[in-house]
Amino acid sequence: MTGSPPVQLGLVIGGARSGKSAFAERLVRAHGGARTYIATAQAWDAEMRARIDRHVADRGDDWVTVEAPLDLCAALGAVTSGVVLVDCATLWLSNHLLAGADLEFHSRALTQALICCAVPVVIVSNEVGWSIVPDNALARQFQDAQGRLNQALAERAGLVVAVMAGLPMVLKGVLPPLPC
């Protein structure tokens, strides 16, 4: 971001299919320089594999992609230059939930890793607080953990942008000029 110092941590949050990932990519491009995309998705079936492949193709080949469905902290620690896009905290948290991990522990570790990362980071997350209270304990556990993680990320981020219907709404900080 020429003319203004980059934000060390940015959070882009929104609902499913809100346009948050595309907006986060534009935000990362505004930093200039090398870009690392840390992907947290796992391809459990052919539809998800096609979805991941479409995301990779849409981004183009000027990104370094690192797959980190569980060990996001180590992936963040390994990046030493440029800027990072993590997409997304929701899938990462879901992976830990399904693995039976301690969500509070891993959420705290992720928050610390983001703060300590050597380069600016933009992290994408789903806002799950606008949905109904789920009808089962596992889904309620996830919704609670995701809400707590989102609040912790937003508290520490210098820039928080909510995206709805492809439109960014700055909740915290100042949005830099973005490429088209």
In the chain the first and final C-alpha atoms are separated, in Å, by 14
Peptide bond into 88 cis (omega under 30): yes
* Residue 47: other Cβ atoms inside 10 A: 9
* Catalytic residue (one of 31, 55, 96, 106): 55
Q: Are 147 and 104 in contact (CB under 8 A)?
A: no
- Residue listed under structure tokens 């820039």: 159
* Strands annotated E in the chain: 9-14, 35-39, 64-67, 83-87, 121-126, 159-164, 167-172
In the residue annotation, 55 being an active-site residue is answered as yes
By the 8 A CB rule, do 35 and 28 touch? yes
Asked if residue 71 lies in contact with residue 48, where contact means CB atoms within 8 angstroms, the answer is no
Catalytic residues: 55
